Amino acid sequence: MTVPKTSVLVLNCSEPEPLARFYAQLLGATAGPATDDGELFLVTGRTGVVLGIRRDPQRPTPSWPLPEDSQQVHLRILVAADALDEAEREAVALGARPVAAEEDGTRLDNRTTLRRYSDPAGHSFVLAAVREDPARLSRT
């Protein structure tokens, strides 16, 4: 029998608690410490743990989209197409910083379907419009 387990993307930053609160508010989730020492915070939503935020005081702030740095990883937050403008207002009000659209190698970033940001600690994420209700997608 397989031991029950799950996986989660973990972002490193110098101050994990405020960043966990940022993502919890942005995603309509909750955030709390996963360890007694406060080194790891988990953001938990309707579908379970959606993101981890880990303390790493030596972690430099990401500098993407500078040409010498690669994006490496980003969060793609799915949003109903008709709610994209509202989701953008929420993200910016919580402290997200818009990142200029750039050629991604396949097509020009289209603001009607994809919007790029940096979170308060500098990690990149996008709000991406989808045809189906994102809540319905998370149940499948």
Return the domain boundaries, the chain.
1-59, 60-140
| pLDDT tens per residue across span 49-63 | 889 999 988 877 776
CA distances for 78 relative to 70, 90, 95, angstroms: 22, 14, 19
Does the pLDDT of residue 131 top 50, yes or no? Answer: yes
Query: Residue length, the chain?
Result: 140
- Cβ proximity of 125 and 63 under 8 Å: no
- What distance in Å separates the CA atoms of residue 66 and residue 63, rounded to the nearest whole number? 6
Same fold, 1-59 and 60-140: yes
Q: Please give the pLDDT value at position 90.
A: 95
Decide yes or no: CATH 3.90.1200 for domain 60-140.
Answer: no
When pLDDT is cut at 50, 70 and 90, the band that residue 104 belongs to is: very low
Secondary-structure class of domain 1-59 per CATH: alpha beta
Does the pLDDT of residue 93 top 90, yes or no? Answer: yes
